[in-house]
Amino acid sequence: MFRCGINRWCAGEEKRVDSRTVYVGHHPTPGIETFLPPSFCDNRIVSSKYTYWNFIPKNLFEQFRRIANFYFLIIFLVQVIVDTPTSPVTSGLPLFFVIIVTAIKQGYEDWLRHKADNSVNKSPVYVVNEGRIVEKQSEKIQVGDIVCVREDETFPCDLILLSSSRDDGTCYVTTASLDGESSQKTYFTVPDTSAFRTDREVDSLNATIECEQPQPDLYKFVGRVNVFCDKQEPTARSLGPENLLLRGATLKNTDKIYGVSIYTGMETKMALNYQGKSQKRSVVEKSINVFLIVYLCILVSKSLVGTTLKYVWQSDPGNDEPWYSAKTGKEKNANKLLKMFTDFLSYMVLFNFIIPVSMYVTVEMQKFLGSYFITWDKDMYDAHLGEGALVNTSDLNEELGQIQYVFTDKTGTLTENNMEFIECCIDGFKYKNVGIDLCVVDGISSNDGPRSRVCGMAGKEKEELFLRALCLCHTVQVKEDDKVDGLVKQQGCECTYISSSPDEVALVQGAKKLGFTFQGVENNRMKIQNRDSEIEMYELLQVLSFDPVRRRMSVIVKESSGKIFLYCKGADSSIFPKVKAGKQEEIKLHVERSAVDGLRTLCVAYKELTQDEYDQISAQLHEAKMALKDRDKKLEEAYDDIEIDLHLIGATAVEDKLQDQAAETVEALHSAGMSVWVLTGDKMETAMATCFACRLFHTNMKLLELTTKNIQEFKARNEAKVHELLLELHKVVVQDKRCSSLSLLRSWSATQEYGLIIDGAALSLIMKPTQDGSTSNYKNLLLQICHRCTAVLCCRMAPLQKAQIVKMVKNTKDHPITLAIGDGANDVSMVLEAHVGIGLKGKEGRQAARNSDYAIPKFKHLQKLLLSHGHLYYIRIAHLVQYFFYKNLCFILPQFLYQFFCGFSQQPLYDATYLTFYNICFTSLPILLYGLLEQHISIEILKKDPSLYRNIANNALLQWKPFLYWTFLGLFNGLVFFFGAYFLYDNSALAENGQVYGNWTFGTIVFTVLVFTVNLKLVLDTRYWTWLNHFVIWGSLAFFVVFSFFWGGIKWPFLKQQRMYFVFAQMLTSVSAWLTIILLITVSLVPDFVVKLLNKPLEKGRLQCHNAKKVADIAGNCLNLQESCKTWDQSEWKVLAGIQKYLVYNKAADSVSTPRSPVEPLLARSFSVES
């Protein structure tokens, strides 16, 4: 560990420079006289938090950072130092119990981390040393070692691929453990090192690698390799992410590879990605802290009152110094202020149990154990994936019941992310693929035999050019067999297409159905088979990779005839500005129509390059790729310069189907009172179609647009345009209750619903600081508009903009609780930003699932996670928190009242053992079981009626009103306990023999009533009974009785004075004591009986009102619709006809008789939907 610390310190020193130089195989380069290898950290992975020597101090420090723990530590020290009325054991033992339990839990978790670390660090690896393979432990790998990895083995550190056993110098890798993507990725060797394939050859390699310092981005890497050969000038080659094999990834379908380690141990990208996750706190935890402060104020107030009244009492000399207790000289000469302060501390110690320290342990155990119910839920298990829900953090279980805003991604979250080629547009003519033998060309059916000899209106030359572009412009790989999960086996063919993007596979499949088959890459030459079954070969010269900013990718290929072409595909917004020729208007129209149908579109373009133009491009790209600093920026500039003056060929449309029950889930979330926002990078028309399909938007919703197109309609400068448009929308949705002229649709109901559509460019203008450096005015207007809207669609959003939207909403004045759900790497930022992050185990990788708080297989599982689990978790923990404060107030109030009858002498009412065990043994387990198992409403009802979720919104059960109810209930019970027993003592002779009972019997009666009352209250509150509840509640009461007999029935040799000897047994011989206990328990529970009796008719009335309101809403909507339709003009009926296809309705409703008016079937469908 000391060596690891030194390594980390050394690594920190080394990080001060921008790059590092790695000597391959630790061989010095020619021309260096003295070789001093640089120092880097070793390959040891440390995920553990503690070591054997720092566990105790570090764990104690972290635990005492909690206010409650630190407070009880101070109280314990006061009891040890100052002469207090109670033993230090009373506060020390509960604190010791809490600390020990927490330490054991955290220590066990860290021991598991140590165990996992050792299994990785001690695993065998194979390193090339002096021309032969040597076995080492993984932790002993050093930067510069040449490592040999065989098939199905994982990479022990981050490696640069030097050579592969495959002839083409590639290797296949799966990164499922890093980002969840099960598809194979292809990595490439450097051409100058690919020939070194044996142990001796690779050991003879003389090269250095210059690369950037470690950084956590899995998909970025900048470096270059210098290969020295026979004292010539070194050959320099650029290195990128395609050459970097990451630790944790697995080698597939390749016998073996050689790689040089460049990042090791805690500097690998995998290790860096598991650090720095922010801690989220639930709203319940914040409420606990507020209530804790209130009870701390009550504690201080009680102590001040006790101290003041003590000195008022002692102002009478007869009370200050009675004849039987004369003061010593030391007491008479003591500093009065110091004595008052000591008395104040003594009262603090006496009343300190009003602060429930054990509540923190109970809450932690409830969250930890309760999270398993989500994992075990069979309804959230997906048979196709073979996985269920996963809880990454149990601290936010109750937050699932408080969600107000849901931010969801579209692709892969609302949709399946299972792409299918539907249609394409070539040179302005639409080709819809219905099958292998049939194509539809702009509505004209043509059947030209097998392999669909598509020769339609575009002409054969244009068709082949378009299909050739689809076969060449991609990063798809061909694999002969199908051994890897997540791959699509091509029917009728022995090959499998592999790609990290489902879109690319769908396009290659579509081209294949239309007669052009991509057959793979051999020796950097792409091979395709055309419609005439002829093989065409193209030399792959350059790949201009796709990135989410450019939103396009290109390839430069060379035909066998020597012609050089650049093929480019990408989003329409990124292709059209680069195009100078082609039927732009016709293709743009097809793209918009496809987007309205909910299809994902891409545009395809090309241009021919001369040899001189290519040479210039190659030099420009080489210069950018060789840069170690700002390589991404230079490549982006080079790509923009190259991808210009393109000829537009056509566009493609692929379908991404809606997930099962996605629409029903969105409707349920709306019914539960949540606002659902869709944040997507797709174009507006595609996203709108999906929103209509999943019922986020509906036909009687007025859609408002805040997009670049609308902003450009205003003639002022951009900032003024945004402000004017925001004011106009604000007037429509907030100020003006009448129908706005911005929409032809009229209000169909008493309350008009609005939907807002905003794009990334408009959001950038809104978030852009004004001249005075503020954006608050625009943000406030936008937030007011959004707050009034039922649904919001944000399209063309960059990942960072998604996080900005979430942050903007959650930082508003009301501080609503937000949830973000997504499945891809581009959703990670918003998942981390939201109060609760949900990751889907989708096809875009599992980075979102890894970085989330909860991971679920499908979007439909969100409904049960929130409406059932979230609802119950919140109810349980809210009751648990209020109950803890209540039972401790009941516990301490009689102690405070007792001071008025004992001359404020700080005499304890309860025995020290009762003080210690009250929260640990007598009342802790029943409320823990309640917090785990209670179902005040059955799960089935919660699923059927999402509106029940509204009842607990805005932290309803932990507001001041319920808190004050529980507090007054605790005050009432405390008064009943104390004064009931006090009035019993009017008859001082309680035993049959006339014996007078003392103060310990009085305290025992009060404590007995207390223990039975707080446990029986839980009996009244419990609605879902299991044998565990019975066992724990009645077992706790039985344990109290048995323990009291046992504790008072034996003379314990370690006690100096035994106050409770035979007290409990003697008390129970009195009939008066029995009657008092039963009477006081009954009186204490009267308020609970009254509340329950009053609540039953209220609940029944609420249910009837709820059902009546539903019926009234349906009828009112239909009547309003009929009235509105009478005044519609022809243009408005056209709008209705255009959007009617998005209306989702039950097929049974179509059995209506022939309508007398165009709106009649619509009315029938609305009734079907509402019913």
Catalytic (active-site) positions: 409
1100: burial class by Cβ within 10 Å (0-12, 13-18, 19+)? exposed
Per DSSP, the three-state class of 960 is helix
Angle at 1017 between CA 1011 and CA 1020, to 5 degrees: 145
Q: What is the CA radius of gyration of the chain?
A: 37
**How many CB atoms are closer than 10 A to CB 277?**
11
**How many CB atoms are closer than 10 A to CB 15?**
12
Continuous H helices in 672-736:
684-693, 708-713, 718-730
Spatial distance between the Cα atoms of 671 and 1106, rounded to a whole number of angstroms: 13
Per DSSP, the three-state class of 1051 is coil
Continuous H helices in 15-141:
55-63, 67-81, 88-121
Per DSSP, the three-state class of 742 is coil
Q: In the sheet that 207-212 helps form, which strands lie side by side, from edge to edge?
A: 19-23, 207-212, 223-227, 235-239
Spatial distance between the Cα atoms of 480 and 465, rounded to a whole number of angstroms: 27
Structure tokens at 753: 């619903």
Spatial distance between the Cα atoms of 631 and 640, rounded to a whole number of angstroms: 14
36: burial class by Cβ within 10 Å (0-12, 13-18, 19+)? exposed
**Which of 152, 143, 199 has its CA nearest to residue 171?**
152
Per DSSP, the three-state class of 174 is strand
Q: Taking a C-beta distance cutoff of 8 angstroms, is the pair 508, 471 a contact?
A: yes
Residues paired with residue 225 on neighbouring β-strands, in sequence order: 209, 237
178 half-sphere exposure, CB direction, 13 A CA radius: 26
Spatial distance between the Cα atoms of 1165 and 1156, rounded to a whole number of angstroms: 15
- Amino acid 633 reads K
Alpha carbon distance, N-terminus to C-terminus of the chain: 67
Question: What Å distances lie between residue 94 and 353, 458, 920, CA to CA?
Answer: 10, 83, 7
Per-residue DSSP letter, 28? P
**Which of 818, 796, 800, 801 has its CA nearest to residue 809?**
818
Q: Taking a C-beta distance cutoff of 8 angstroms, is the pair 906, 346 a contact?
A: yes
Query: Angle, nearest 10°, between helix axes 960-984 and 1071-1126?
Result: 160
**b/e map of 544-556 (b: 16 or more CB within 10 Å)?**
bebeeebbbbbbb
In SS3 terms, 879-901 reads as HHHHHHHHHHHHHHHHHHHHHHH
Spatial distance between the Cα atoms of 473 and 458, rounded to a whole number of angstroms: 21
Per DSSP, the three-state class of 490 is coil
In SS3 terms, 270-333 reads as HHHHCCCCCCCCCHHHHHHHHHHHHHHHHHHHHHHHHHHHHHHHCCCHHHHCCCCCCCCHHHHC
**Which of 140, 195, 208 has its CA nearest to residue 163?**
195
Question: What Å distances lie between residue 81 and 152, 254, 333, 506, CA to CA?
Answer: 64, 71, 20, 77
Q: Taking a C-beta distance cutoff of 8 angstroms, is the pair 406, 810 a contact?
A: no
